[in-house]
Amino acid sequence: MHSYPHPLIAREGWPFIAAAVGGAAIAAWLVGFAWSLPFWIVALFVLQFFRDPAREIPGDAGSVLSPADGRIVAIQSAHDPWLDRNALKISVFMNVFNVHSNRSPVDGEVRARWYNPGSFVNADLDKASTENERNALHIRTAAGQDVTCVQVAGLIARRILCYVEAGATLARGQRYGFIRFGSRVDLYLPADVRVRVTIGDKVRATSTILAVLP
């Protein structure tokens, strides 16, 4: 089990949760609990959005783990624009009810990080990969295989957070970033990986093996 300093609620959510609970408490004091119920529902929604559970880490060093909770929306041969190579692309779409902390899909060294500003079209659409705000990591495994992991902002996501830079070492399942309020993560993998998921599958960050490296 990978332990985090905040295993239940992501620290990114603390100010939002405090504001939501504070607003609900003020509303209850001013107008009574019954009238303040919508404010408490909003506070519960904010609380569930920022949950950040620890997860069991399956497989071995050749297993590519899901970097996010969500649904598989793309599995296709693609050009990796970050490393200028042919690759196999797997995309995970996160809606507002998914856990939104992002975890490393493989063990390896971060060789480069890129940030591109962009628009905020629906992250469920494939054009989000090229048009939306995004942050990409190039991770190289000990066996020399290259994985590109791209955080993509969504329709209402307005903040991509990434806590690692080039030179950092990541372990499978390690928390490295967060995207607020709906988003997508694209993985560009070696073209000859063995895929373990299909379009429409629901996956969980760290817990689900997406593919096996050759």
Task: Give the 3-state secondary structure of residue 194.
Answer: strand
36 secondary structure, DSSP code:
H
β-bridge pairing 63-65 and 194-195? unpaired
Non-local (6+) Cβ contacts of 44 within 8 A are none
> Quick one: pLDDT at residue 30?
83
> Quick one: pLDDT at residue 181?
65
Catalytic residues, which ones? 183
Rounded-to-integer distance, Cα 14 and Cα 136, Å: 26
Do 98 and 136 touch, CB atoms closer than 8 A?
no
Question: What parts of the chain have a pLDDT lower than 70?
Answer: 1-7, 9, 13, 118-131, 154-158, 181-182
**Radius of gyration of the chain from its Cα atoms, rounded to whole angstroms:** 18
Do 152 and 188 touch, CB atoms closer than 8 A?
no
78: its two tokens: 């693609």
Rounded-to-integer distance, Cα 167 and Cα 113, Å: 10
Task: Give the 3-state secondary structure of residue 163.
Answer: coil
Rounded-to-integer distance, Cα 169 and Cα 195, Å: 25
Rounded-to-integer distance, Cα 137 and Cα 155, Å: 22
> Quick one: pLDDT at residue 26?
86
